[in-house]
Amino acid sequence: MRAEELQIGDWVSYIKMSPHKCSWQTLVNMEKNKTLRSLIQPIPITPEILEKSGIHRLNLAVEVLDRLLFEFESDDVRIKIIVYNYKNGNENWEFQIFNSNPYSNMATQGSFKYVHELQHALRLCHIDKEILL
């Protein structure tokens, strides 16, 4: 991984070590040390990580269509995550983030594969949602 792909607070994994959050010092060291860059790996998103973080799975009947649906809602925001092609192992994770603006409630949408990418989308929308591993 490259340091410019990460932000302070992003979850990453060192090879053969437990996950940790990036610090300013981690990013500086990654910039200086090519070996360190090769040891730091992104953490793939999983249904278990979402559920542990309070983003709940909805409508289990949708699984028949080879999709999983997750949602989190608070007073001013709703996060919807759809996982396509779940059963065949070629997952395509997409998210939609809605806010409470009555004129345009879609804040952002996109796709992701790793925990740090979901963290970036949440920060972009000023959503203070902790992702737990």
The reported pTM is 0.82
Q: Give the confidence band of 74 by pLDDT, cuts at 50, 70, 90.
A: confident
Say if 89 falls within a structural domain: yes
- pLDDT band per the 50, 70, 90 thresholds, residue 126: confident
**What token pair was written down for 34?**
């090519």
Report yes or no on 131 lying in a domain.
Answer: no
- For residues 119 and 43, is the Cβ–Cβ distance under 8 A? no
Range of the domain at 114: 47-124
Model pLDDT for residues 90-118, shown as the tens digit of each residue:
778 888 887 766 666 666 788 888 999 99
pLDDT tens digits for 13-58?
987 778 989 998 888 888 888 888 888 889 999 889 999 999 988 8
Q: Is 132 part of any domain?
A: no
**Does any domain span residue 129?**
no
